[in-house]
Amino acid sequence: MALASCGADTSDAGSSDQASIVGLIEIKGDSPNALNDYNNGAQLAVDNVNASGGVLGKPLKYERIPASVTDPQAARTAYLKAVDENPSAIIGFPGGGSLEALTRDVDAAAIPMVHISSDGKLARGAESGSEWLFSINPDDTARATNAVALARKLGGKRIGIVATDETFGRVSTTNSIDAIEAAGLELGTVRYVPPTATDLTGTILDMRDSDVILSWTFPNVLALQLNQMNQNGIQTPVISGNSGPLVVAGNLVDDTARRPLNAVTPCAPSIGDSAIGRTFASEYQARYGMTPTASATQVYDAVRLLAAAMEEAGTVSNHKAIAESLRSIEWDQGACASVYKSDDAQFLGHQMVAEAFAGDGSIIDRYEVAPTSER
């Protein structure tokens, strides 16, 4: 079994006859917002691919380069460093803001990239999109629409929003406001907070006029929100995105503080119906001692999907052929989505679940996301 690299010092990535993937991914210590989930998923995927024979008969190489989700210049430096390695493909960037500024660089590099953001501006044909960018997620309008549907199911009539003051937070808020209006519900208080916030008391008290709160924030901010809601005796239901599972898996809140928390995410493999997902969850738990989040699972799938696309294309070095394979492949071996298939906008995933985190946790709803051309 080939060993996957954990750092940014792999010297032989980009060999023309051996598949290589660069992960633009932070881990704990790289920034205040960073967690290990994304890289854990990538590492496990690489090891599993290599245990099954690698790609086209040779081990898959993996290199991680830390890439900021809040500093566009640092993100560009990381991206260009990845390009210099000339890998078969690139994965990463859970936040769309940093990637939006890189469209020209992505087009110039002409290397297929599977990113982890649901940012609609990165869709093929959109203002910051590229033929080389693919999202492992459904698009962000689906998350907002499904979150509002969940808010209604939880009895919400007046919906408040807490969001980090950056691209993810603002785009998610805009989409949520549109969905709230379309659903005939009332918009409550909307508050934007810094990604590095350390006190949300005022914001939380302002949310008392809402009966459900949508939280489009990074994990550190969501944890702070839940902990301070608990301290102030506020048990209003909260609906988040992928930050919800990250907060719970990272033990950033206790059982009481997480009781109001729900999340709309692409999957919850440890409690889902997929046999592939449950097998992955068991392997992940055994290796890392924690339940896999949707984020870890999506990166795990992104690596394995890229390996399958390279196998189907019959090449690890022809970037155009690998991208074409990503557009045409219909892959049913995912641990998160049951099927990955690119739509016209190059979103690959088309399902979401609603998860409640009270007690042992449960899936309380499921959503199919139509391809962008059908909406």
Q: Where are the domains of the chain?
A: 20-138+274-351, 140-265
Residue partners of 197: CB distance under 8 A and separation at least 6 = 164, 221, 224
**Which of 28, 31, 40 minimizes the C-alpha distance to 299?**
40
pTM: predicted TM-score of the whole model, two decimal places: 0.88
State pLDDT tens for residues 202-219: 999 999 999 999 999 999
Instruction: Tell whether the model's pLDDT for residue 243 goes beyond 60.
Output: yes
134 SS3 class: strand
140-265 — its CATH code?
3.40.50.2300
d(CA 307, CA 54): 8
The residue with greater pLDDT, 375 or 170, is 170
How does residue 332 score in pLDDT terms, banded at 50, 70 and 90?
very high
- pLDDT at 375 (0 to 100): 65
Residue 57 CA: distances (Å) to CA of 60, 163, 306, 353: 9, 46, 15, 36
pLDDT digits (tens, 9 = 90+) for 150-167: 999 999 999 999 999 988
Res. 1: pLDDT tops 60:
no
Fold classification of 20-138+274-351 is Rossmann fold (3.40.50)
Bridge-partner residues for 238, per DSSP? 213, 261
pLDDT category at 95 given cuts 50, 70, 90 is confident
Amino acid type, 25: I
Q: For the ranges 1-10, 36-45, 338-347, 360-369, which has the lowest average pLDDT?
A: 1-10
pLDDT (tens digit, 9 = 90+) per residue, 65-93?
Answer: 999 888 889 999 999 999 999 999 999 98
Residue 6 banded pLDDT, cuts 50, 70, 90: very low
For the segment 286-318, what is each residue's pLDDT rounded down to a tens digit? 999 999 999 999 999 999 999 999 999 999 999
